[in-house]
Every structure is written in C-alpha cells, then in structure tokens.
Chains A and B, each alone.
Chain A
Amino acid sequence: MLKICDICKSFNGIEVLNNVSLDIEESSILGLAGSSGSGKSTLLRCIQGLEIPDHGTINYDRKIGFMFQDFNLFPHMTVLQNLVYAPSLRATADEKKRYIDKARDMLKDLGIAGKESTYPGTLSGGQKQRVALARSLMIDPEVLLCDEPTSGLDVATIEDVVGLLRKVNGLGVTIVVASHDLEFLAQICGRIVLLRQGKILLDIDPRDNPIAIENLKNSYT
C-alpha cells in the first residue's frame, strides 16, 4: 500500500498542499480531481520525489512510473530510443536486446507498431501519449502516476487512454491519475479524491455513488 501522511507543501509562501493524507490500495485506480491549482500535480510530484514535501511522509519504496502532462519525450531520440534509453543504461548486452524486444512488443500492444524509428516531433498527440505511457512502463513500475493524461486529446483518443490505463491496471499496476476531467475519472477510477486549495474535500467511489459525480462538478465552481 502507498501511504501518504500529512503532506504539506508550499511554494514562495503559497500553500499548495495542506495536511494531505491518503492510503492507496495496491492494484487500484485512484483519481485525483480538482480545478487548476488545487494541488493535484504537486501531490503526484511529491509521490514521485520530484518535489520534497515541507512536512509529512510518503511511505513507498518501489518503482514508480510517471507520465507527464506534456509527455516530455526526448525530441532528439527516436521512439525506440526514447523507450530503451533509461533501462539500458545499466544493462548488459543481452539485457539491452531484451529491452529492445520488450519496447517493440509494447509499441505493438499500444497500437503504434512501425513508429520505432520516428522522431517524436512528427507524432500526433495521441501517439505521443502512447509513447510516453510505453516509456513509463519500460521500468516495470508498481505504481503509475499520470498527470492530466487526457488534456488536449480528442474524445476518441480519450477512449483509447481509458482502455490503455485499464489494460495496465489489469497487469496489477496501481494507477494514480490527476485530471480535471471528471467524466474520464468516473470511467476508470474505483475511487476519486477531490482536492481543493490543497485539502481533500471529498473521497468517493464513483460506481457506488453516481450522483456524487454531479455534485462534484458543482463543487468545482
């Protein structure tokens, strides 16, 4: 279990997270909802270790994958290089070959086979998203953090993302998704936590409580 206890984080005196505590079950999908500036991304960044909380602890020492909102693919590397670069750094020649095979399989699974030697600049938003997902899965993470995975994508591509994340979750990977898109979160999450001004406002199961989603939408404003 991923245990988050009393996390506080402020930037230049502005409090972004205020005593946030969460227990995240293994192999679950947790949605972090909230408007811009509510602290969703900061919470994900704290879990990943990109930000150090001012106070509180995060109890987790296993591999975490992170899918960034703007993908952050390496523009000077091909799709295949993007995937295998990090895992291959400390690998033997045999392992490197296995990583290449694994990357090819993963691209095939994600429906972008044949793009191995393409540079990210020529991919569409949906394709970049898949490459970013594949790259974060290359290290076999036990937890996958996704920051706004649907921003800037069209409806059909969002459906694809839902399918992909479900598939990843089916492999036993715990997923934490931050998104302002409540309908998207309601589709995939077993639990939605609403943040407002750095505090947890609501913590619900969307399947048990469909009306609550409507209420959540209202609580945005």
Chain B
Amino acid sequence: MNRITADFLYIGSGIVLTLELLVGSVLIGLVGGVLFAVARRCNTVCKALINGIVSVVRGTPVILQLSIIYFTIPQVFGCKLGIIPTGVIAFGINSSAYVAEILRAGIENLPKGQFEVSRALGIPRFHMWKDIILPQVLMNILPALINETVTLLKETALIATVGGMDIMRRSQVIAAEQYEYFIPLCIAAFIYYALVLLIEFIGRKVEGLKRYAENL
C-alpha cells in the first residue's frame, strides 16, 4: 500500500465521526428549529424568549459554543461529556437557531388562507401544524435546509478543537507527522466536497419527488 492510499484510508475513517456529528446535529437542529418556530407563534412571552435565544445563538461563534459545552459542563456539573454528545449538542443548538429563522420565513410566506381554512374546518392546532402547515413549509424551504446541512457538515470540522478525530483532525495529524501539508489537506478537501455533493444529490432527489407527486 503506498503512502497516499494509507493516508487516504486514515483520513477517510474520520467520516464516521463527521457523519455521526452531522446526523445528530441535523436532527436536533430540525426538531429544535421546528419547536422554536412554532412556539414563537404561540404567545408573546414565548416569542420574546425564543427571539432572545435565537439572537444569542446566532450572535456568538460556534467554536465558542462548543468550548462552553465541552469545558464548562464538567466544571459546573462535575460530569464530562464525550466528544460526540458535545458536538451534537453544540452544532444541533446552533443549527436549530438558523433553522428556526429559515422556518419563520417559510411560515410567513405561506398564504394566510391555509391557517384560516384550517380554523374554518375545525382542525386542531397540533394537526394544523403537523399535517397542513409544516409539510408545505418544509417542502418550500428544502433548498435552504440543504444549504444549512452543507454548512453544518463543514462546521463539524471544529470538533478538532476539542480533540475529535474527524476528517479535518486526521489530516492535520498526518500533516504534522510527515511535515507535508499539501496531500493530506487535499485528501480532506476531496472527502468534504464528495460529502457535500452527496447531500446536494439527495436534496435534489427529494425536491424532484415533490414535483413529481404534485404533477401526477
């Protein structure tokens, strides 16, 4: 096995951690974002509270949020979180703030009549959100959500700052070992780019399914 192949396999095995972080934080981001966006429309107290949270989360660097969770939780609560929970929580909360904003735009753009007709037909609030509003909004904002997923994938590289052995960190390890930066970093770039293309491909497929269904 030549050196480049060995480097590629070593760096490539970081995909596991990167994908674990990505899947976990996309899920937290989506669920959190939906909860934020819906709760915002409940009453003024909820709205003010969530606006505050979203503003703070969007207004501070992810690397800082990651460090706060990784270093302060053991100090304050006396228990240490692992790399994956730390990353998933930090990236997930950060993403939920952005998803909440994307959803807000989507909800505001949906014709008001969809809410009114739900009320006129006596559809309970929970069902209105679950079956009428959110399915339409999520489909409309799908391109923005794909964009957010791509951003999140690249942000997971910050896990290296707290010692996570992801694609980025592994490429740095190789570079430091061999005093050779070009190839390991190119390998990392290639892997990240391939993952981004994969996410975009899946996104386009889902969008296509929606169009297909509506034009049957």
Contacts and interface: CB of A to CB of B under 8 A. Distances in A.
Is B truly associated with A? yes
Interface of A: 48-50, 64-66, 68, 70, 72, 74-76, 85-86, 89, 117-119, 121-122, 135-136, 139
Contacts of A117: 216
B135 interface: yes
Given A50-B120, A76-B139, 4 more contacts: A48-B120, A65-B120, A86-B121, A119-B214
B120 A66 contact: yes
Contacts of A48: 120
Contact of B213 (A119, A136, A139): A119
8 contacts: A50-B116, A65-B120, A68-B113, A70-B113, A72-B114, A72-B117, A89-B124, A118-B216
B131 interface: yes
Q: How large is the interface on B (under 10, 10 to 19, 20 to 34, 35 or more residues)?
A: 20 to 34
B123 A72 contact: no
A119 B215 contact: yes
B61 interface: no
A135 B121 contact: yes
B67 interface: no
Interface string B120-137: 111110010001100110
Nearest to B139: A76
Contacts of B117: 66, 68, 72, 74
Contacts of B135: 76
- Interface SS, B side: helix
B41 to A, nearest CB: 17
A119 B216 contact: yes
A135 B122 CA distance: 12
Interface in B97-153: 111, 113-114, 116-117, 119-124, 127, 131-132, 135-136, 139
Contact of B123 (A50, A75, A89, A118): A89
- Interface SS, A side: loop
Given A68-B113, A89-B127, A75 B121 contact: no
B216 A72 contact: no
Contacts of A76: 135-136, 139, 214
A59 to B, nearest CB: 19
Contacts of A118: 216
Interface hub of A50, A86, A122, A135 (most chain B Cβ within 10 A): A86
B99 to A, nearest CB: 20
A86 B117 CA distance: 10
A204 B72 CA distance: 77
Contact of B111 (A64, A72, A122, A139): A72
A70 B216 CA distance: 22
A54 B216 CA distance: 46
A71 to B, nearest CB: 8
A93 to B, nearest CB: 18
A89 B123 CA distance: 8
A85 B118 CA distance: 10
A139 B135 CA distance: 24
Contacts of B122: 86, 139
Contacts of A86: 121-123
Contact of B119 (A50, A65, A135): A50
A85 B215 contact: no
B138 to A, nearest CB: 10
Contacts of A139: 121-122
A121 B214 contact: yes
Q: Which 6 A-B pairs have the closest CB atoms?
A: A72-B113, A86-B121, A72-B117, A66-B120, A119-B214, A121-B214
